[in-house]
Chains A and B, each alone.
Chain A
Amino acid sequence: MSDDKKKKLKLKVSAINEGTVIDHIPAKNLFKVISILGLDTIENQITFGTNLDSEKLGAKAIIKVADKFFEDHEINKIALIAPHAKLNIIRDYEVVEKKIVEIPSTIKGIVKCFNPKCITNNECITTCFKVIAKEPLALKCKYCEKITSEEQISIYK
């Protein structure tokens, strides 16, 4: 296969003029990422591809959002479910900046407390966790003080 052909195949998810490409999202978490970033409610042009081959992730997803540039605190929200995500900032079809996501020291909302007896699971309250370990992830609930571990994490719809 010629390089040119490869390049064209690669571009099946079409290139954007201005905006952000989020790559290396675990395929199974694509829709959660869309929801956390609020991409399901904005009017920008968005293209995404999923179940693409990835050596690192098995199956990865990629999202291209036209005319959108994320703040670090916005993008770090996806670190919990897409820790290896990479961002390419595009201007005039060129990658002008690359970013990686970082797990923030506190996490507001997004994650549910695993403790069914926690007040946050019984009344309409935004959860808040202190990140006490990143690898593997451990989150301490500000309210019930219980620790939600990586395998117990569930994300709000």
Chain B
Amino acid sequence: MKKDLISITDYTKQEYLRIMELAADFEANPNQELLKGKVVASLFFEPSTRTRLSFETAINRLGGRIIGFADPDSSSATKGETLHDTIKMVSNYADLIVMRHPLEGAARYAAEVSPVPVINAGDGANQHPTQTLLDMYSILKTQGTLDNMNIFMVGDLKYGRTVHSLLQAMSEFENPIFNFIAPEVLQMPRTYKLHLEEKGIRYFEHTEFTDIISAADIIYMTRVQKERFSDPIEYEKVKNVYILRNSMLKNTKPNVKILHPLPRVNEIHPDVDSNEKAYYFEQARNGVFTREAIIAHTMNLK
């Protein structure tokens, strides 16, 4: 059976740990010709420069070749071809498909249609599992463990797919605590809170971004995205509410790290960048190793 990665919950805890182990291996030795002679399709039905470059770097470091498109304007989708037909055609050519699509569920559907494995590089507001795995690798690397983490999630917790997936994945580990800091309109959806309650995991909700962050091991910042709001007035009200500044980090724990899936707009002030607790650029670098690990695992190369 082929191993697709569509949703973070497709993997077991053992698989999370396996990816972490492989990512560390690729970090120590990034250039390994495991994909030599293989062709990987990189299909971006929606532009995402950061994710695409990270994936394509990972594929290049593994010695694979890439076909595909970086935005839908240069693909046959603009001629009205269905996703079904594009995937059918591309899976005849490539050994692996990496895809980003604006519609939710597109990756799951592609995986059903395709005989070769599919890795989801983001499907609308639904899932972006490789981001979650690189977030986990960043936590493991900086904290030495994925157990007993006090994780603060800040900003758009309602629509932010990265925080939802990270919550699901981290709830598989020992004794996590979650703290959610968000305005009323962007609070963590009920379904994720229920998930924590069922597992007996503690969580706390706050609307103020104050010195409560002194208890954090991880501060996960998110961008409040304009396109998620139907009412522009609502967006203007909340966009500047939660901004992290260097002065706020004075009383935080020495081990705390600030993560952000990037791109940021203004939610992390540039004066934080020089603080050693800022980790978001290293986090992006970890993305390449984690994606090498995911590709190797998906294609049974290691």
Contacts and interface: CB of A to CB of B under 8 A. Distances in A.
Interface of A: 113, 115, 117-120, 122-125, 141-147
B127 A145 contact: yes
B84 A123 contact: yes
A34 B293 CA distance: 52
15 contacts: A113-B105, A115-B104, A118-B103, A118-B104, A119-B106, A123-B83, A123-B84, A123-B109, A124-B82, A125-B109, A142-B105, A143-B109, A144-B103, A144-B105, A144-B124
Contacts, number: 52
Interface residues of B, number: 18
Given A119-B123, A124-B82, A144-B103, 4 more contacts: A113-B105, A117-B124, A123-B109, A142-B108
Given A117-B124, A117-B125, A125-B109, A147 B191 contact: yes
A128 to B, nearest CB: 10
A137 B263 CA distance: 39
| 7 nearest A-B pairs in the assembled complex, by CB-CB distance | A143-B105, A144-B104, A144-B105, A119-B105, A119-B106, A119-B103, A143-B108
Interface of B: 7, 82-84, 101-106, 108-109, 123-127, 191
Contacts of B102: 117
A145 B104 contact: yes
Nearest to A140: B191
- By secondary structure, the B interface counts as mixed
Contacts of B126: 144-146
B104 A119 contact: yes
Contacts of A113: 105
A144 B83 CA distance: 15
A124 B103 CA distance: 14
B82 A145 contact: no
A119 B125 CA distance: 12
A120 B123 CA distance: 13
B203 to A, nearest CB: 20
A143 B103 CA distance: 10
A115 to B, nearest CB: 6
A118 B191 contact: no
B229 to A, nearest CB: 15
B235 to A, nearest CB: 18
A123 B82 contact: yes
B201 to A, nearest CB: 20
A142 B126 CA distance: 12
Specify which of A117, A119, A123, A142 lies most central, judged by the most chain B CB atoms within 10 Å of its CB.
A119
Given A117-B103, A117-B104, A123-B82, A145 B124 contact: no
A142 B191 CA distance: 16
Nearest to B113: A125
Contacts of B84: 123-125
Contacts of B124: 117, 144
Nearest to A142: B108
Contacts of B123: 119, 144
**B101, B109, B127: which has the most chain A beta carbons within 10 Å?**
B109
Nearest to A143: B105
Contacts of A124: 82, 84
Contacts of A115: 104
A140 to B, nearest CB: 10
B294 to A, nearest CB: 20
Contacts of B125: 117
Contacts of B108: 119, 142-143
